[in-house]
Amino acid sequence: MSKKLPLLLIAFFLSPIIQAEGQYPDWSVSGFGSFSYVGTDTNSLGFIRNRTQTKSATKSGEGGGGVTTDSRLGIQLDVDFTESIHTTVQWIARDHAGDFFEQNLELAFISWRPAYDLDIRAGRLALDTFLIADHRNVGFSYPWMRPPHDFYVNISAYHFDGADIAKQFSLDSGYLTVKAFAGYGMNHFAVGLGVFEMDMPMAGLSLAYETDNWLTKAVYNYQHFDTEIPNEPLLGLINSPQLNQVMPGLSALESHVSLKDTNLHYMSLGTRYDDAVWLMHAEISYLASDTSLVGDVLSGYMSVGRRFSDFTFYSVYGVAHGFHKNVDIPTPVVADPQLLGIQSFLDVAVNNNTPKQQSFSLGARWDVHPKIALKTQWVHYWFEENGAAYWRHLDDSIKPSQVNVWSVGVDFIF
């Protein structure tokens, strides 16, 4: 790869504001990747790592996932123009709904460090809402195959376009970092009704306290939906005069299938302990929402791992519990199979959006090289009725109450 081309392009655009000095500009190219396979023991539910994915893993591969679920390849360009002005561009090849280039552009920002303890960044930034949210693509940085599913599958976006400011304080034997961020997220999602662009202004505040072995983080994040899900098929049914005659009260469901102009509030508290032998992660969050399509959700997980030389063995318990109350879908006045099918379809659309699942995982990581790790993980999931909201519903069959998911893979950095 030509070392000069990307540097010259960036330097050209930024040269008016930068006075190069000594060793600067200084640049580097690096990256990370994961290649994995995920299998399950059901074909009626598709396993996804994140709601942005278009494919899901199933028993027989009908969901199209399996290899793509946890596999990705990221490349990053870092340029230091001076000791205080820096830019980072990161692009990741992965399964993501929407434009393959634009949606996978994860980072593209310029940062200014006016003092050693102050960072100001502007551009495309990673969502920093939870303990692992801003590096969840980097499998090499954590022990699991993926961040705990019960907690992280529902994080609605990977990145946003905006700015953040972080100030660090020395406090006792550690460092407290206070960060405020604001911007606009334009993320594409795959839902049962199709792919839609979710535009949302957002703002948040995080507090992170780090010592030798501990990192504790508390975050509040506000998001507002500016766009609507592709709910035309649903609205067409709900507002049909003919259907309202045979399913009285159907039109009252309209407010339950809309996302636009509603708000989300994320509150989370997480901690990580790592003394080089023992490894512990725990997080809890509450998601407050104005709409039935999301619902209020309490989720959390706890992971404990123990290292033996190059091997790490771990277990994870996770839970996600939605507080959405079941909405009664009007029963047809005649037991017509087509009308019962519509009732079932609407029931899935309105009542299957709130999770009620628990999981338990066992897994291992083997660092075969300082930059390569082999991993495997088995996860057992339990669902309450209509609780598999974090899974793709691939057919109309009765959903299983328990599912096993296993995976093997390799994570690396370069």
Partner 1 sequence: MFGLLAWISYFKPMKFITLSLLLLFTSSLLADIVVIGNLKNSNPMMSAREVQEIYMGRKRGLADNAIAYPIDNSDLRQSFYKHLTDRPIAQINAYWARLKFSGNRTPPEIVSDTADIINKVKANKNAIAYINDQHVEESEVRILFVIKNNNGTDKD
Q: Using CB atoms within 10 Å of the CB of residue 173, give its burial: 0 to 12 exposed, 13 to 18 middle, 19+ buried.
A: exposed
Separation in Å, CA 55 to CA 64, 102, 406: 5, 19, 17
The pair of three-digit structure tokens given for residue 157, joined into one six-digit string: 């976006």
CA–CA separation, 143 and 404 (whole Å):
19
Smallest gap, in angstroms, from Cβ of residue 135 to partner 1? 4
**How many residues of this chain interact with partner 1, rule: CB under 8 A?**
46
Query: Residue 49, interface with partner 1 (CB under 8 A)?
Result: no
Of residues 140-199, those binding partner 1 (CB under 8 A): 140-142, 168, 170, 174-175
β strands within 172-277, DSSP E: 174-191, 194-210, 214-224, 263-274
Among 62, 78, 226, 228, binds partner 1 (CB under 8 A): 78
Question: What span, in angstroms and rounded, lies between the C-alpha atoms of 266 and 245?
Answer: 40
Q: How many CA atoms lie within 13 A of 100 on its CB side?
A: 4
CA 409, CA 109: separation in Å to the nearest integer?
A: 31
Q: Which of these ranges, 34-42, 84-92, 231-239, 251-259, lies near partner 1 under the rule CB under 8 A?
A: 84-92
Q: Which 207-236 residues touch partner 1, going by CB under 8 A?
A: 210, 212
Name every residue whose Cβ is closer than 8 Å to that of residue 414 and which is 6 or more positions away in sequence: 30, 31, 32, 33, 371
Binding to partner 1 by CB under 8 A, coded x per residue (else -) over 257-276, reads -------------------x
Interface with partner 1, residue 370, by CB under 8 A: yes
For residue 15, give the 3-state DSSP assignment: helix
- Position 88 contacts partner 1 (CB under 8 A): yes
Please state, in angstroms and rounded to a whole number, the distance separating the CA atoms of residues 194 and 242.
Answer: 26
Nearer to partner 1, 107 or 243 (CB): 107
Rounded Cα distance, 29 and 338, in Å: 58
Q: How far is the CB of 374 from partner 1 (least distance, A)?
A: 12
Taking CB under 8 A as the criterion, the residue among 19, 30, 326, 402 binding partner 1 is 30
Q: Is 293 in the site for partner 1 (CB under 8 A)?
A: no
Residue 369 contacts partner 1 per CB under 8 A: yes
Q: Which region among 59-67, 77-85, 227-235, 348-356 touches partner 1 (by CB under 8 A)?
A: 77-85
Question: Near partner 1 by CB under 8 A, which window of 125-133, 186-194, 256-264, 354-362?
Answer: 125-133
Half-sphere exposure of 230 (CA within 13 A, CB side): 10
Q: Which of 97, 138, 264, 346 binds partner 1 (CB under 8 A)?
A: 138
- Given the complex with partner 1, which of 45 and 79 has the nearer CB atom? 79
Calpha distance 142→170 (Å, rounded): 26
Q: Does 287 bind partner 1 (CB under 8 A)?
A: no
Residues that bind partner 1 (CB under 8 A): 22-23, 26, 30, 32, 74, 76, 78, 80, 83-84, 86, 88, 90, 107, 109, 111, 113, 115-117, 121, 125-126, 128, 134-135, 137-138, 140-142, 168, 170, 174-175, 210, 212, 276, 310, 367, 369-371, 373, 413
